[in-house]
Structures are given as C-alpha cells and as structure tokens.
C-alpha cells in the first residue's frame, strides 16, 4: 500500500497542501482532480521525491515500485532509435542476460570436471532462473505491441528519437513506463499528446493493467472510462469519492449546495451576533453577554467556499453571415518532399457545420486545417473560399506570436474588440487568469498560460469560420465547459482538432476522419463515429474470416461443384439485390439532378447583382431551401437502401 500522511507544502504565504493524508491500494484506478493550481502535479512530484515537502511522510512496501509520467520535460537519448530508447526501460535485465551469456561462453572453455566449472554452473543456474523470472522474453514481445498501440509504425521503430516532436517523445516515455509495469503508475495529463485511436488503446491497456493507476487529467471521458475512485484536491485539502469523475461531479455539486446553505446560515448568525455586540457593547448589565459573544465570534471557523466559474458565460462576437458553401477543397495535393500527405482529396464545408477533425497523429489533421485556414501552401488543386467568409484560427504555436512585453490584459485590449476592461478581466478569468495574473507580462508566462491567453484573444475577434487545433490542452474542467458552451451557442461554422470526446460530443454534427491517404466524413458526433468505426472494423474482420473460410471450402470441393454453388449463390443474391440496386440508381439520378440545380442557384446567388431583384431573391431562396430539404430526404433514402443492400451482402458472405 502507498500511504501519504500529513503531507504539507507552503508556497510563500500560500498553503498549497495542508496536511494531506490518503492511501492507495495496489490495483486501484484513481483520478486525481481539482482546479488548476490546486497542487495535483505537485503532489505526484512529492510522491516521486522530485519535489520537497515541508512536512509529512510517504511509505511504500519493500517490493513495490513507482512509475511517473510528467506533463513535459522528458529527456531521451537522441543517439538511439525509438526501439533502442524504449528497451532502456529494462537495461538491468539486458545486463543480466549478458552475464548469463558470458557464463555460457566460459562454460564451453573450461574442463567439465573442474571446480571452476562446478562454480560457474552454480552461478549460471541462479542467474538463468532470475532471468526467466524477470519476464524479459515476454517484455520483448510487448515492446512492439505497446509502440504500435501508441501510434508508431514499424518504420518508426528504427528512426532516431531526434526526428520526433515533443508529443511523440512523450509517447516514447509513456511506452517505457508501461513496459516497466510499476506497482503504482502515476500519470500527469497522459492524453495531451494522444490521438483518439491511441487514447482508446490506452484506455484498454490501463483497464487491464495489474498495478494501481493514479491519473491527473482534464479529459472527463477518459477518467470515466478508467477510474473507479476519485481524489479531489481543493484549498489544500483532499477528499475521497468512491466512483469515477461523473460520480464525483454529482457528489461535489450536492456537497457544495449544502456548504452554500451552511455559509448563508453562518453569515446570518455572524451578522446577528455582531449586531448584538454593537448594540449592547457599552451597557454594563450586558457586559458578560457581550464578552461571551465576542469570544464566540473569535472561536468561530468561517466556512470557506472556493469560487467557481459555473455561472460565468462567454459568447463569441456576432459573426457576419457567410454563403451556404463556406469552403471547398478540390483535387487537393499536398506533400513534404517525398512524404505525400494528400493526393487529390475533395472536401466541402457548409454554413453552420461544426466538424470534429480526428485521426491518427501524422495523418495530416493539422496540415489540413492549416490549408483550410489559408496558412499552408499546397502543390495542386483548389481552395475555394465562399462568399463573405472570414477565418479565425487557433493553434498552440500562436502563443509564440504574442508580444512578450505586453501583459495579459493589454494583450486582450490589443484584439481591438472594444470590450470594457471589466469584461476582458472576466474573459481572462474564464481562462484561469485570476486577480493580479492579468498584469503578468507575456514573457514570464508558462507555455500553458501563453496558450490560454492566445485562445482568449482569438475569441474576441469576429469571424464566421473558427478553426481550433487542440484548444483544450491547457484548460481545466471549468474553462473547458465555458468554451464548450460558447461554441455550442456560436452561429457560425467551426472545425476542431481534438481528442477530447466529452468536449466534442455536444458541439459537433460531423466528424472528419483523416487517415493516411484519404479522408471520410461521418454524420453525427464523435461517439457515433467511434461506434461506426468499431462496426466497420468488425465487418472487415468478418469479411477476412469469410474469405479464409471460403478458401478452405474451395480446397475441399471439386471445381465443378464449387462453380455450381457459386452460380446459385450469385443468382439468389441478384434476385434479392436487383430491386434495391434499381432504387439506389433512381435515387442517385434524382440526387444528381437536385445537386445540379442547387449548384445553378448557388452560382446565381454568388452574382453581385443577384440581391437587386427582391422577387428573384425570394423565389430562389424558397427553391433553394426546398432543394436542400429534398436532398436531405434523398440522401436519407440512399443511405437506407445502401444499409439494406449491405445486410443482404453480409448474409450471403456469411453463408460462403
């Protein structure tokens, strides 16, 4: 058991940790939560012995081990390949293996009847038993599995670590840590550098992990999936909840409500007591009662409730109305030297779309949205911007473009929104700049603080196409909720690159899946996309199994018999699928005609003099709305027929 007792730490006048005591049992799944600055990362560092404490003890059983992944600051050996660097996680076992090989070599060189041989055999037996018990051979087979789960390809294994960015280096550090399999795994924001696919792999891995896991994360869906206990740090104290983050959130809301009521009653009591003291302070007959009330007030421990941002809201500036088609990418080609990212992709964004951009890291998500934002060139194709479209783009690197000599509040004024200072301070508060923090110069801010400031500044500029690249990485739960609500209420169009499912689900109506070599759109939120991907993967596996089974059956049947059976199957399948295929062809023809007419109207509406004729505008607008409704209906019919066709095809495939 890992036990913390009376852990205390002061930062200047502030008591960051005030007698924190708790315990962690082997095998537990714990989320360590609390507002930014509560001391979560600091507590993990204290457990690891990286950060000094003022008081308290940490105890660990003799055979138990600790493993720690920091938020940043990993330092790999840049002379090694990815595989070599990861294998340093068990360098001591390699050393043991070398000792065994050395003894084997010596045994082949000495007399089998000698005492030296007898002594070497004894050493060999001990070391060989130790090596087999260490699990080295199993660990070697796990290395590639873990690296591929975290998004590395087989080609990446032999690339030098110096070729990888900070996010990928964090994955290498995570792989080393997972391979060590410590008794207690301490993870500080492990999801920041993962894509959705790697995140799901990570969840599965941690759910089957034998040791204890303690996670600091602002990803609610991740916490809900892997944890069954929550430790909450607030105002230096720790509270224990027997459930995941959603369970904690509900319980804390109930507790806070009780605290607020208790504080109101206490304030009322204090007011009445003070009024009594003020009224009778100079009456001799009441002197003892007055003194009693004064002592009562002195002994009273005031209920302190941490301010929360739940009641703070933010709305984007009202965007100008764009054309129906916001942007089109046509036959777009993009490559970096020999590395082809996109080869002839087409994509269309419509007004009001709120799109999650997902896919494995390295597939081109950030490249694609930089192209859409107009910040990245491409070799071939067209980027067609719609009528009256204005773009606002946020990415982590924009923090580096802030003026280092301006403070946070001045930076917000520089956005030129005309907002009052009190409103700017409120918005900064939404992004964790409290009190005098607003007067900090940009040059003294941390990377996370600069990123939040760049995001806050961006939100002041009116635009009808907003593009975000990982906007939640440095936000706490409360700030994420504020940003989420603002984007939900936003009436323009937006694209968001993020792996945070809980953040994205209430916002988006489409998911753009960016895979190596292609892109694909899913209508729905991220949870729907993940469910559909799972179905597609299961169908692909079933198809593969079906092919293998068919090959086996083919080998067992005569060619003539096989041809007869296949012909019967084809005829039966055609009888069932022909009517549906005819319906699909009919609907596709109708869609083509409707799309053609829709394009004609869009071209007409794009003409400068179109809006001069009010009657024409009214007529075309009514027709355009009807066309959209008809298209939605036809696409729905097409999807229904396709699904019916797939069911029949799958039935015949399963019979083969």
Give a yes or no: residue 252 inside a domain.
Answer: no
72 within some domain: no
pLDDT of 545 > 90? The answer is no
Contact 362, 336 (CB under 8 A): no
User: Is 607 found in the same domain as 479?
Assistant: no
Same domain, 158 and 195: no
- Summarize the confidence of residues 453-467 as an average pLDDT: 88
- Do 31 and 60 fall within a single domain? yes
Residue scoring higher pLDDT (511 or 136): 511
Q: Are residues 159 and 186 in the same domain?
A: no
- Angstrom distance (rounded) from CA 253 to CA 35: 14
d(CA 219, CA 198) in angstroms, rounded, equals 14
Instruction: Name the residue with higher pLDDT: 338 or 166.
Output: 338
* Residue 506: per-residue pLDDT: 94
Percent of the chain whose predicted confidence (pLDDT) is above 90: 34
Q: What band does 116 get if pLDDT is binned at 50, 70 and 90?
A: confident
Contacts of 540 (CB under 8 A, 6+ apart): none
Taking Cα atoms as reference points, which of 439, 431, 500 lies closest to residue 460? 431
- CA angle 135–136–137, rounded 5-degree value: 95
H-state helical runs in 557-613: 559-605
Give the CA distances from residue 75 to residues 48, 88, 333, 454, 517, in Å, rounded to whole numbers and listed in that order: 17, 13, 36, 27, 32
Confidence of residue 167 (pLDDT cuts 50, 70, 90): confident
Answer whether residue 174 is part of any domain: no
Confidence of residue 68 (pLDDT cuts 50, 70, 90): very high
Residues 392 and 517 grouped into a single domain: yes
Higher confidence at residue 226 or residue 614?
Answer: 226
CA distances to 74, 357, 440 from 463, rounded to whole Å, are: 38, 19, 28
Together in a domain, 362 and 489 = yes
Q: Report how far residue 574's alpha carbon sits from residue 570's, in angstroms, rounded to the nearest whole number.
A: 6
Residues 60 and 198 reside in one and the same domain: yes
Cα 111 off chain centre by: 63
Q: Could you give the number of structural domains in the chain?
A: 5
Range of the domain at 288: 262-299
Residue 428 lies in a domain: yes
Distance CA 656, CA 650 (A): 10
Q: What is the CATH number of the domain that holds 481?
A: 3.40.50.300
Residue 31's nearest CA partner among 247, 235, 246, 214 is 214
Percentage helix, strand, coil, to 5, in the chain?
A: 55, 20, 30
Q: For residue 230, list its beta bridge partners.
A: 31, 241
Checking if the pLDDT of 311 tops 60, the result is: no
* Residue at a domain's end among 254, 281, 299: 299
User: Looking at residues 479-487, what average pLDDT do you find?
Assistant: 88
**309: pLDDT strictly greater than 70:** no
The strand pairing partners of 23, in sequence order, are: 3
Is residue 372 included in any domain, yes or no? yes
């Amino acid at each position: 058991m890992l036990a913390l007792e009376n852990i205390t730490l002061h930062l200047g006048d502030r008591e960051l940790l005030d007698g924190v005591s708790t315990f962690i049992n082997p095998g537990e799944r714990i989320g360590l939560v609390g507002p930014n600055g509560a001391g979560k990362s600091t507590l993990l560092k204290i457990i690891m012995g990286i950060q000094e404490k003022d008081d308290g003890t940490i105890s660990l059983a003799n055979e138990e081990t600790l493993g720690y992944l920091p938020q940043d600051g990993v330092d790999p050996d840049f002379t090694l390949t990815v595989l070599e660097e990861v294998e340093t996680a068990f360098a001591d076992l390699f050393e043991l293996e070398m000792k065994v090989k050395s003894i084997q070599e010596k045994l082949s060189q000495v007399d089998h009847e000698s005492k030296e041989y007898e002594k070497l055999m004894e050493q060999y037996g001990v070391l060989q038993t130790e090596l087999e018990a260490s699990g080295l051979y199993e660990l070697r087979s796990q290395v590639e599995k873990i690296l591929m789960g975290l998004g590395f390809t087989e080609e990446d294994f032999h690339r030098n670590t110096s070729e990888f960015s900070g996010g990928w280096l964090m994955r290498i550090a995570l792989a080393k840590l997972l391979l060590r399999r410590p008794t207690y795994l301490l993870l500080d924001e492990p999801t920041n550098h993962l894509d959705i696919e790697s995140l799901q792999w990570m969840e599965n891995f941690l759910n089957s992990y034998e040791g204890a896991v303690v996670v600091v994360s602002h990803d609610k869906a991740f916490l809900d999936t892997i944890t069954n206990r929550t430790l909450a740090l607030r105002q230096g104290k720790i509270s224990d909840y027997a459930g995941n983050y959603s369970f904690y959130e509900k319980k804390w809301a109930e507790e806070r409500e009780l605290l607020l009521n208790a504080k109101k009653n206490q304030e009322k009591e204090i007011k009445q007591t003070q009024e009594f003291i003020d009224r009778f302070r100079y009456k001799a007959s009441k002197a003892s009662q007055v003194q009693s009330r004064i002592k009562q007030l002195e002994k009273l421990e005031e209920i302190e409730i941490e301010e929360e941002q739940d009641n703070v809201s933010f709305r984007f500036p009202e965007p100008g109305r764009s054309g129906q088609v916001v942007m089109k990418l046509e036959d777009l080609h993009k490559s970096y030297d020999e590395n082809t990212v996109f080869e002839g992709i087409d994509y269309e964004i419509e007004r009001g779309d709120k799109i999650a951009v997902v896919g494995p890291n390295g597939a081109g998500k950030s490249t694609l949205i930089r192209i859409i934002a107009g910040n990245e060139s491409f070799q071939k194709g067209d980027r067609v911007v719609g009528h009256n479209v204005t773009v606002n783009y946020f990415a982590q690197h924009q923090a580096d473009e802030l003026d280092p000599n301006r403070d946070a509040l001045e930076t917000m004024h520089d956005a030129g929104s005309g907002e009052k200072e009190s409103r700017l301070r409120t918005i900064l508060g939404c992004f964790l700049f409290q009190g005098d923090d607003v007067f900090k110069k940009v040059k003294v801010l941390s990377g996370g603080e600069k990123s939040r400031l760049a995001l806050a500044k961006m939100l002041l500029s009116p635009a009808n196409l907003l593009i975000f690249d990982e906007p939640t990485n440095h936000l706490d739960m409360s700030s994420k909720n504020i940003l989420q609500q603002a984007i939900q209420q936003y009436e323009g169009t937006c694209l968001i690159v993020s792996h945070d499912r809980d953040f994205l689900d209430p916002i988006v109506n489409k998911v753009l899946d960016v895979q190596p070599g292609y892109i694909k759109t899913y209508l729905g939120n991220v949870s729907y996309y993940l469910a559909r991907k799972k179905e597609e993967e299961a169908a692909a596996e079933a198809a593969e199994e079906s092919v293998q089974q068919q090959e086996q059956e083919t080998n067992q049947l005569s060619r003539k018999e096989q041809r007869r059976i296949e012909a019967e199957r084809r005829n039966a399948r055609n009888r069932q699928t022909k009517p549906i295929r005819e319906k699909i062809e009919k609907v596709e023809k109708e869609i083509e005609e409707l799309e053609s007419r829709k394009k004609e109207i869009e071209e007409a509406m794009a003409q400068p003099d179109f809006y001069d004729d009010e009657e024409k505008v009214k007529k075309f607008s009514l027709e355009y709305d009807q066309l959209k409704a008809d298209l939605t209906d036809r696409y729905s019919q097409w999807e229904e027929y396709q699904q019916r066709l797939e069911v029949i095809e799958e039935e015949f495939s399963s019979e083969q």
